[in-house]
Amino acid sequence: MAHALALRSRSDSRSHAAATDVASSCTSIYLAPAMDPTPDIDASLEALDSEIAKIRAEIKNLQNRRHFLSSSLLSSDYVRQQIQRVGPSSSSTGSDGDISPLVASAGKHRDSNRHRVAFSATTFPFKDPSPHSDSPNLLGVRIDVCTRDGKFAKPYYVLLRREKGGDAKRLAVHRHTIPAFIPIEKLEKRYLPRSSRQDVVDGGDNEALKPEKTKKQDLPAFVRHLRRELVAWHLRRDSIRWLRERLGFSGDDDDDDGENASEDRRLASPTADPAQIVSLTPTSLEARYARLEWQDGRVGRFKISNSGLVERAVVIGDHGRDKRTEDAMTGGDRRVENLLDRLKRSSHG
């Protein structure tokens, strides 16, 4: 009997221990935190965004290539004539409706380029949209400038109005899009003088105001001089860009004001530097002066004329001014395009 009770007690203790283990395991299973699927979702979204960005970039590249090929083909007179010749016969298929706008656009673009090459400055009538304008009828002047890469820069406009209170045939500048560093006010005073009056004193008695004899206005000369200034500015910018390309500098210097020369030097690594130049940047948007830095610590600055010549140059090193380098920069043909060649010969000589 005692033996049976002992066996039963052992069985109860084992059952209690087993139940305790099951309960603890269930508790541990219940308390175990569930896996968070958020990282997997974020990774999937990032992968999808990357794929979408790649597809969009590829679509943009294909569109640019399509535009380039279509422009190249439609610029040919033979291809355009063949398309126009077979156009009416293929109108039933619907292809003529897709090609005709391209042909018309290419024709307009070709005519516009020919016009801009042949007539770099044109005039047109313009109506001032302001209802409070005293001179609503304006004369517009458009000036086109071609850059070094064969493209036309953004056109420049000058709006002229009739002079107030004087001769109605005389013109004055009303609005313009010319850069601020180009002296359009001086050109206006020189070529478009306004009529003025002065007091004439004769024997101490003030006579009536008489119109002063003013010079005749010369609008063609005004436009020619203004365009010459714009072309010279673009030539200076293109010449500095050409020198930077020869030195192996990357990036565009159109908006470089000379203050970020060190940053530009870090971004660019010269690939072919015959004169050990580590930096070449314009000092301002006008690109009248350019700043040079050499690897040995010398610093220089030179001035570019409207005709593309190096007018003056100053180079300063640890031992004062470097006259030899200055003479090399301003010597020879003085062309800014050959500046690096002159510096190379000077350094080897």
> For each of the chain's 349 residues, which pLDDT tens digit applies?
444 444 455 555 555 555 555 445 444 444 445 555 566 787 888 888 889 989 998 999 999 888 778 777 777 777 777 776 765 555 444 444 556 676 777 777 777 777 777 788 999 999 988 888 888 889 999 999 988 877 888 999 999 998 876 666 789 999 999 999 999 999 999 999 987 643 333 444 444 445 556 788 999 999 999 999 999 999 999 999 999 988 888 655 444 444 444 345 434 444 445 558 999 999 999 999 999 999 888 999 999 999 999 999 999 988 899 999 999 999 889 999 889 989 888 877 6
Instruction: Collapse the DSSP code of 118 into the 3-class scheme (helix H, G, I; strand E, B; otherwise coil) and give the result.
Output: helix
Residues 278 and 222 in one domain: no
Q: List, edge to edge, every strand of the sheet that includes 289-294.
A: 277-282, 289-294, 299-304, 310-317, 320-321
Give yes or no for a contact between 301 and 291, defined as CB atoms under 8 angstroms apart: yes
Helix axes 323-330, 339-348, angle to 10 degrees: 140
R_g of the chain, CA atoms, integer Å: 38
246 in a structural domain: no
238 in a structural domain: no
Q: How many domains does the chain have?
A: 2
Tokens of 169: 């045939």
Residue type, 196: S
160 in a structural domain: yes
Residues 225 and 284 in one domain: no
Residues 222 and 299 in one domain: no
Look up the domain containing 334 and give its range: 272-347
| Strand positions, DSSP E, 129-224 | 137-143, 156-162, 171-176, 197-198, 201-202, 205-206, 210-211
122 in a structural domain: yes
Give yes or no for a contact between 334 and 310, defined as CB atoms under 8 angstroms apart: yes
61 in a structural domain: no
Q: What is the SS3 assignment for 290-346?
A: EEEEECCCCEEEEEECCCCEEEEEEEEECCEECHHHHHHHHCCCCEHHHHHHHHHHH
Residues 221 and 285 in one domain: no
